[in-house]
A = this chain, B = another copy of it.
Amino acid sequence: MRIIGIIAATLTTIAFFPQVIQVIKSKDTKSISLTMYILFVTGVLLWVLYGFYLNDLPIIIANSIVAVASTIILCYKIREIRSNLKKS
């Protein structure tokens, strides 16, 4: 049954890759929620911190990967908002 946990963690970690690729390629983040990614990046960074506290390498590694991916998405979102502000 431990394999279920490993597959679950792998899927929820790599899930953000296709979103990162799509955002980088299209530079379109219109339907992506800014609030979601602010909350999510903050939460995932706290998970990394908690992982260090627990000294749990899987928590540290998985959340660090997700932190990088979701931060990239957040940056593209902020960039789009800024560029829209300049236009208007």
CB <8 Å contact, B8 and A43: yes
Known pairs A1-B53, A11-B40, A53-B4; A19 contacts B32 (CB<8 A)? yes
A31 CA to B28 CA, complexed, in Å: 6
CB <8 Å contact, B43 and A16: no
Q: Indicate with 1 or 0, residue by residue over A3-36, a CB within 8 angstroms of chain B CB atoms.
A: 0110111111111111101110010111111011
**20 new A-B pairs (CB below 8 Å) besides A8-B44, A8-B47, A28-B31?**
A5-B46, A5-B54, A7-B43, A9-B43, A11-B39, A12-B39, A12-B47, A13-B43, A14-B39, A15-B35, A15-B36, A15-B43, A17-B36, A18-B33, A19-B32, A19-B36, A21-B33, A22-B31, A26-B31, A31-B31
